[in-house]
């Protein structure tokens, strides 16, 4: 069973994540914000729900990978929450050692960036996912930390799951293996080590990319909606290419912090466009 910690106790949440690999954050958001985000993605999910080929592709799961741009609430309120960011960057911030680069600012630090943000509708009868680690997209090799304890800096990513409805084992709650972030790749989970992350709207589950988990099967007659935001280290390639979708007019409506998290604003070293920011490249097109 995943442990619960209030969002406004980030140091305690960090402690639990180091031990378990994940934590349920209570008091993460409000019922009205959850309903707003649900509505923000409803049109696309409704269209895709009637697409039999789309349903078959993911065994009864419908994905909308446009959450970050579609939902101001998810982008500006959830993703940029101060306490959430402090937890995420405890694990994913990168700081230069003094000898790394004499041409950059001493002890240059970069925070986590957006890897992907999507909404997932698990339909009635949808099959469960195989247990997996999210950092497999970067072909990460995991060596056992069971004897040494958690090594800060070993993770490449972290995920935030915000339920759009009550989540239970029956309707497909995420299955999680506490402590598996410390395992080497050869160790497999037993049935009694796999537990559902059951949540009420307003809570959120934050877990390391090295932890074993998988979406559960939905044995009810009601779809289960979940919103997911994935973060990665600043120097890791994000899973989603946000640049390919959003226009300059759309991105201009985002806060600078939201633009920075998605890579449109940089520290003028990594991710630049002709020695400027990607947002400058978008503005250039408008000026023509």
Same domain, yes or no: 259 and 224: no
Same domain, yes or no: 27 and 113: yes
Q: What is the CA radius of gyration of the chain?
A: 19
At 189-200, the pLDDT tens digits run 999 999 999 999
Same domain, yes or no: 227 and 279: no
**Residue 288 pLDDT more than 70?**
no
Return d(Cα 157, Cα 173) in angstroms, integer.
Answer: 21
Q: How many domains does the chain have?
A: 2
At 108-128, the pLDDT tens digits run 889 999 999 999 999 999 999
pTM for the whole structure: 0.96
**Residue 268 pLDDT more than 90?**
no
* Mean predicted confidence (pLDDT) in 132-151: 97
Same domain, yes or no: 74 and 140: yes
Domain range holding 185? Answer: 4-240
**Residue 285 pLDDT more than 80?**
no
Among 204, 221, 240, the domain-final residue is: 240
At 49-103, the pLDDT tens digits run 888 887 778 888 999 999 999 999 999 999 999 999 999 999 999 998 777 777 7
Return d(Cα 160, Cα 166) in angstroms, integer.
Answer: 16
Return d(Cα 208, Cα 198) in angstroms, integer.
Answer: 18
**Residue 283 pLDDT more than 90?**
no
186 band by pLDDT with thresholds 50, 70 and 90: very high
Residues 6+ apart with CB under 8 A from 52: none
């Amino acid at each position: 069973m995943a442990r619960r910690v209030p969002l406004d106790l980030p140091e305690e949440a960090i402690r639990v994540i180091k031990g378990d690999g994940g934590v349920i954050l209570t008091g993460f958001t409000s019922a009205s914000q959850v309903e707003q985000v649900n509505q923000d993605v409803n049109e696309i999910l409704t269209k895709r729900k009637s697409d039999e080929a789309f349903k078959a592709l993911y065994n009864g799961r419908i994905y909308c990978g446009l959450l970050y741009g579609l939902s101001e609430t998810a982008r500006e309120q959830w993703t940029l929450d101060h306490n959430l960011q402090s937890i995420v960057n405890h694990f994913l911030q990168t700081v230069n050692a003094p000898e790394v680069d004499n041409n950059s600012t001493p002890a240059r630090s970069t925070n986590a960036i957006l890897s992907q943000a999507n909404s997932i509708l698990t339909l009635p009868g949808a099959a469960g996912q195989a247990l997996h680690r999210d950092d497999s997209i970067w072909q990460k090799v995991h060596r056992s930390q069971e004897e040494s304890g958690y090594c800060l800096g070993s993770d490449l990513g972290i995920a935030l799951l915000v339920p759009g409805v009550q989540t239970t084992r029956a309707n497909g709650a995420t299955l999680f293996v506490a402590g598996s972030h410390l395992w080497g790749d050869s160790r497999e989970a037993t049935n009694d080590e796999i537990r559902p992350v059951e949540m009420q709207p307003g809570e959120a589950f934050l877990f390391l990319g090295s932890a074993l988990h998988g979406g559960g099967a939905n044995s009810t007659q009601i779809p289960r909606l979940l919103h997911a935001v994935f973060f990665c280290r600043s120097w890791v390639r994000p899973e989603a290419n946000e640049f390919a979708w959003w226009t300059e007019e759309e991105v201009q409506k985002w806060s600078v912090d939201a633009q920075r998290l998605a890579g449109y604003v940089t520290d003028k070293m990594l991710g630049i466009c002709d020695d400027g920011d990607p947002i400058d490249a978008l503005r250039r097109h408008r000026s023509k």
